[in-house]
């Protein structure tokens, strides 16, 4: 009888909810929670109704209780993670969602929450504020220092990132998460041996650690790869659900041992696992292109912020894996040119215009410029220019050039087939790179990049220099001189030796740019064309007249 009553009350609560009668639905759910305190569904319904009423903070206790009572229900976890995010408790939301993602691999809603938090620089700044406040009272809290280090790294504050993760590691070297971040920091700074030593320590105590196995698989030599393969296979066998890091680790090791052609079926599996939880939305990207182009119509001058203060911005754009890191390392090898890595500010500051439709005029451009300079990492006082090499800024050229009338855009163009293959055989978990785990999506995104650049060249071609990657690596002196002249900076011979640049590298090009400039990767797609045919079929030859698609 009691079960029937509970079922009837739930039906009424859900019926009111579906009818949009939220106060009545909440009343029934709260009544059910009192009458049936061991039934988690009433807690969840009450919490969900409150989120529909935009009362996220009030919903949290209900979701906490529902999740406590039924910890194996992913829906309750999703609701709590989302409520924490909506109430601005970003650090708590990210920590909770990432912890639960281990338990619920493949959960799209948790992946969405994590992606939404990670894609916005303001969220990382919120985490910095939160952890800094906590650290005032607990300065030796290694976990807080590690969290702040991660946040600093995501918004380009390299020195602060290194300081905090080094301090956290000194305090608690036995924490696997902290040790892993320290290892990555060392690798980014060029210390592969130090990185490897820490990774081996992690694996000695945690042999199935996915991140450490993946990181090690990207660095290890052919001689030690078989032993690591045994560890990766054991870790995969011990997982109830597929893990993309482990699947990519296996693919990288097969490539080390037997060559790329043998590894591509495993890369297909690894990418499929990743794409399942982080799919690419073609329609969403098409609509975004249309909105942005409409804000900057051809034949109409860009808004002008009227601000030309230094240091001069140089934005290096292009598809990821097209040579943007190489170009930044070449430019920042020269004295007085500060390399800032991939800043999220272009995306953060343009979102209200590109996504929400807010008008972007000269006044808004000036506001954009001021906020950009206030929030960007500090650069040396003698810098005459800084380089932001966020590849996807190709979507935001109009905003950037309107905000910075003295800025220059260096657009790196590379054969999309080589770019596509390079994306396919690397793991890109970030939300902004979700297309990289699907061959059709890689082609669509590449075509979209070219359509963006066609538009920007029609609007402001005089402030954009397109550099062919193939030409640059074949003749670095000529083309680095061309770039320097276009940017209005003095050319320096050090630009031809980016491998000597000691700045941190925080991209997938981390190891390539530590080597001398080479042409050996050009045309690599041809040897494995049979494995990537859907991508090859997806490129629009009309958009790529520089390359032979016959």
Q: Is residue 256 part of a domain?
A: no
Q: How far apart are CA 291 and CA 284, in angstroms?
A: 11
Q: Is residue 290 part of a domain?
A: no
- The average pLDDT across 246-262 equals 96
Predicted confidence (pLDDT) per residue in 58-102, tens digit: 988 988 888 888 888 888 888 888 888 888 888 888 888 888 877
Q: Is residue 550 part of a domain?
A: no
Q: Is residue 321 part of a domain?
A: yes
- Alpha-helical runs (H) found in 138-224: 142-154, 158-171, 176-188, 192-205, 210-217
Last residue of a domain, one of 118, 153, 181: 118
Q: 86 exposed, middle or buried (CB, 10 Å; 0-12, 13-18, 19+)?
A: middle
DSSP symbol at 200: H
Which single residue is written with the structure tokens 């600093």? 152
Q: How far apart are CA 439 and CA 451, in angstroms?
A: 19
CATH code, domain carrying 511: 3.40.50.300
- Are 10 and 40 spatial neighbours (Cβ–Cβ below 8 Å)? no
- Structure tokens that stand for 97 in this block: 């969602």
Host domain of residue 8: 2-118
Q: Is residue 370 part of a domain?
A: no
Considering the entire predicted model, what is its pTM?
0.84
Lowest mean pLDDT among 194-203, 304-313, 452-461: 304-313
Predicted confidence (pLDDT) per residue in 306-353, tens digit: 988 889 999 999 999 999 999 998 998 888 999 999 999 999 999 999
Predicted confidence (pLDDT) per residue in 92-133, tens digit: 888 888 888 777 877 777 787 777 777 767 888 888 998 999
Last residue of a domain, one of 94, 118, 142: 118
Q: Are strands 464-468 and 312-318 parallel, antiparallel or unpaired?
A: unpaired
Q: Is residue 236 part of a domain?
A: no
Which residues of 60-175 form beta strands (DSSP E)? Answer: none
Q: Is residue 125 part of a domain?
A: no
- Are 28 and 13 spatial neighbours (Cβ–Cβ below 8 Å)? yes
CATH code, domain carrying 87: 1.25.40.10
Domain count, the chain: 2
Q: Is residue 376 part of a domain?
A: no
């Amino acid at each position: 009888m009691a079960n029937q009553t509970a079922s009837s009350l739930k039906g009424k609560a859900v019926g009111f909810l579906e009818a949009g009668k939220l106060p009545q639905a909440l009343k029934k759910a709260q009544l059910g929670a009192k009458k049936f305190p061991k039934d988690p569904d009433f807690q969840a319904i009450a919490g969900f109704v409150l989120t529909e009423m935009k009362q996220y903070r009030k919903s949290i206790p209900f979701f906490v209780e529902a999740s406590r009572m039924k910890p194996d229900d992913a829906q309750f976890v999703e609701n709590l993670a989302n409520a924490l995010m909506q109430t601005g408790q970003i650090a708590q939301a990210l920590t909770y969602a990432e912890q639960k993602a281990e338990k619920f691999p493949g959960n799209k809603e948790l992946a969405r929450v994590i992606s939404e938090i990670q894609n916005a620089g303001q969220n990382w700044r919120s985490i910095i504020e939160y952890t800094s406040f906590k650290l005032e009272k607990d300065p030796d809290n290694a976990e807080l220092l590690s969290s702040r280090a991660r946040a600093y790294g995501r918004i380009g504050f390299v020195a602060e990132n290194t300081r905090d993760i080094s301090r956290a590691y000194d305090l608690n070297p036995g924490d696997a998460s902290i040790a892993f971040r320290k290892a990555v920091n060392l690798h980014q700074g060029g210390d592969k041996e130090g990185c490897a030593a820490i990774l081996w320590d992690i694996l000695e105590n945690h042999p199935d650690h996915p991140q450490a196995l993946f990181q090690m698989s990207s660095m290890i030599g052919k001689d030690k790869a078989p032993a690591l393969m045994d560890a990766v296979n054991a870790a995969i066998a011990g997982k109830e659900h597929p893990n993309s890091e482990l699947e990519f680790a296996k693919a990288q090791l097969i490539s080390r041992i037997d060559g790329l052609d043998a590894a591509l079926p495993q890369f297909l599996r690894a990418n499929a696992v990743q794409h399942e939880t982080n799919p690419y939305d073609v329609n969403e990207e098409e609509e975004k292109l249309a909105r942005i182009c409409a804000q900057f119509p051809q034949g109409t001058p860009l808004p002008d912020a009227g601000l030309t203060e230094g240091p001069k911005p140089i934005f290096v754009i292009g598809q990821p894996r097209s040579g943007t890191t190489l170009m930044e390392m070449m430019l920042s090898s020269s004295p007085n040119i500060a390399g800032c890595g991939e800043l999220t500010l272009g995306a953060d500051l343009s979102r209200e215009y590109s996504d929400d439709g807010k008008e972007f005029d000269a006044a808004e451009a000036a506001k954009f410029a001021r906020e950009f300079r206030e929030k960007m990492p500090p650069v040396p006082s003698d810098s005459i220019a800084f380089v932001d090499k966020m590849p996807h800024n190709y979507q935001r050229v109009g905003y950037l050039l309107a905000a910075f009338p003295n800025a220059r855009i260096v657009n790196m163009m590379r054969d999309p087939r080589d770019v596509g293959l390079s994306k396919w055989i690397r793991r890109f978990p970030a939300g902004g790179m979700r297309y990289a785990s699907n061959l059709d999506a890689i082609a669509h995104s590449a075509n979209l990049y070219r359509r963006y650049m066609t538009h920007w060249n029609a609007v402001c071609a005089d402030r954009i220099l397109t550099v062919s990657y193939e030409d640059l690596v074949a003749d670095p002196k000529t083309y680095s001189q061309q770039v320097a002249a276009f940017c209005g900076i003095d050319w320096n011979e050090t630009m031809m030796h980016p491998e000597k640049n000691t700045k941190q590298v925080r991209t997938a090009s981390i190891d390539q740019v530590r080597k001398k400039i080479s042409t050996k990767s050009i045309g690599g797609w041809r040897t494995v064309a049979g494995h990537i045919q859907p991508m090859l079929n997806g490129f629009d030859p009309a958009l790529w007249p520089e390359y032979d698609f016959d």
